[in-house]
Amino acid sequence: MLAAGIVLLAASWLSGETLTRVPSWSGIAALAYLAIFGSLIAINAYMFLIRNVTPAVATSYAYVNPVVAVLLGTGFGGESLSLIEWLALAVIIFAVVLVTLGKYLFPVRSEATPCKASK
């Protein structure tokens, strides 16, 4: 994100864009929050998961993040969801539960060992 920000800043400067307003403190705080929690803590948590759990569980965050965002939007932002959207959230949560608990619910059977041929 830092590299992309530098490239975009240079591109905007080269194209002649100027700063028309000074960002508010709440805007700067939101940007700092995204930089800290959206990248630094998130990448460290992801690396921890990669080292300590299976890849399927570690990557399940990609399915959980939209659910958390939608629930935060309904709880704090006053957004409303249709029945289809609630059903989609349920399907996503069910899939994450299957990925997480799948090895307990559906254990893999070991391969059968061949019998010795009788003489």
What is the domain partition of the chain in residue ranges? 28-54, 60-105
Task: Provide the CA 33 distance to its chain's centre, in angstroms.
Answer: 16
- The 10 Å CB-count burial string (b at 16+, else e) for 65-90 is eeeeebeeeeeeeeeeeeeeeeeebe
Comparing 108 with 112, which gets the higher pLDDT? 108
Contact 103, 67 (CB under 8 A): no
- Render pLDDT for 11-53 as a digit per residue (tens, 0 to 9): 999 999 988 888 899 998 998 888 888 888 888 988 999 999 8
Cα(26)–Cα(24) distance, integer angstroms = 5
- Render pLDDT for 64-104 as a digit per residue (tens, 0 to 9): 888 888 999 999 989 999 999 999 999 999 988 888 887 77
Q: What is the pLDDT of residue 24?
A: 93
Q: Which residue has the tokens 């932002």?
A: 77
Query: Is pTM, for the whole model, over 0.85?
Result: no
Q: What is the pLDDT of residue 103?
A: 75
CA–CA distances in Å: residue 35 to residues 5, 43, 95: 11, 11, 30
